Each structure stands twice: as structure tokens, then as C-alpha cells.
Amino acid sequence: MSHKPEWDRTHHAKVATGIGDPQCFKGMAGTPKFKEGDRVRIKDLPDLFYTRTMTYTRGATGTIVKLVYESPAAEDEAFGNEDDPEWFYSIVFSQKDLWPEYSDTYSNDTLETEIPERYLEKA
């Protein structure tokens, strides 16, 4: 008798094949908390073990330009946990709000990136 634990190693492929990822999580995140045009501040949540929410966006304020998709947050997906998808938002920041030393010459520069809902609070 084998002493190996058994689990379904192809679970994700079964869920996503023919549909795509993150399309396979569509409709699973419930009602989004924010909408296009909302100003939001990025929370400085713990970054222990894994995150993809950039350190340089934490504490900064940006504008939601699009609700992009539903997906498990990176913190869950990175360890194979896919049961709790949430909304991802595309957010635009002014570069000058992110980098204290950013040149006035390029004060119109922006940065757009995707961040899961758990990191957002109304600004």
C-alpha cells in the first residue's frame, strides 16, 4: 500500500480547459464593491510569503478605470487555493503620487495596474 497522500493534481486543468483562466471564475465573486471612476487607496496588507500587490502602490490613491475579471487573489492561487475568487480592478495612479522624486517635467505620466478587491478602500 502506498503512503503517498492522494489529491486530484489535475483539478485546475479540468476547471479551466476549454474556458480559460480567469474566465473559468466568471460569476463567482459576487457583487463588486467598487465601480469605474471610484477613487481608492491601496491598503498595506501583510505581504508575508506571497503577494503581487506592488509595495510602491501601498498607501497611494488611484482611480478605478475598469473591472477586469474575477479570480482567486494571488495570495490564494499561489498555494493552489481557488475556492474564493474576488474582483480585480484596473487602477490608474499618477506617477508623481508613487515616486516622491518623480520629475515635474513628466507630471502627466500615469501607471495602470491590476489589484484585487481586498486591497482597496474608498479614498
Partner 1 sequence: MSSSTRDEVLRHLQTVGQLQPALHYQTHAPAPTEIDHSLFRAYTRTPHDVGGEYDISIPYHEKEEEVWELNTFATCECLAWRGVWTAEERRRKQNVDVGQTVYLGMPYYGRWLMTAARILVDKQYCTLTELHNKIVELRERVAAGKGLGEYLPPKNS
Chain residues that interact with partner 1, rule: CB under 8 A: 4, 9-14, 21, 47-52, 54-56, 74, 77-80, 82, 113
Instruction: Find the shortest distance in angstroms from Cβ 87 to partner 1.
Output: 17
Q: What single DSSP character describes residue 58?
A: T
Determine the straight-line distance between the first and last CA of the chain, rounded to whole angstroms: 58
Task: In whole angstroms, give the CA distance from residue 70 to residue 67.
Answer: 9
Q: Least distance from C-beta 123 to partner 1, angstroms?
A: 20
DSSP character for 106?
Answer: G
49/106 with CB nearer partner 1: 49
Kindly tell me which of 15 and 123 has the beta carbon lying closer to partner 1.
Answer: 15
d(CA 79, CA 65): 29
Q: Which is nearer to partner 1, 47 or 121 (CB)?
A: 47
State which residue, 82 or 86, has the beta carbon closest to partner 1.
82
- Alpha-carbon distance of 123 to 107, in angstroms, equals 21
**Least distance (Å) between residue 28 CB and partner 1:** 16
